[in-house]
Amino acid sequence: MTTYSQYTSTTFDACCRAAGIRRSIDSVGDCYDNAMAESLFATLECELLARHTFRTRMEARLALFAYIEGFYNRHRRHSALGYSLPEAYERRYSQEQAVAQSFIVHQTGQLHRRPVT
């Protein structure tokens, strides 16, 4: 049975702090803590790494950068975003925030459009 206790040890924690690494694990045995990172790594392995052989580290780094910035962050649909494209989700979120900021809640609890100044 694997317990992964090495990742929660005080020695490992001290090494990370000394290297300036901020760990995301906030409690022992929290199975959801790294779920998003694990999902990204599984996707990378399936969609990029299993399909290519890289001759150099630089070639691999450039391919990773192109995949993440050129495809994953911009064009790949994400289940966490309701299968929206990331840029479309961010645009819609910004628009919703702008609309929400244009209203104020009166003391009576009624919504009023914020006066334009």
Nearest Cα to Cα of residue 87 among 73, 99, 97: 73
Going 69 to 73 to 75 to 78, the CA torsion angle's sign is positive
Mean pLDDT of 82-90: 86
Determine the pLDDT at residue 117: 61
Mind listing the pLDDT tens digit for each residue in 17-28? 898 887 765 555
What SS3 state is found at 2? coil
Instruction: Check pLDDT > 60 for residue 5.
Output: no
pTM equals 0.50
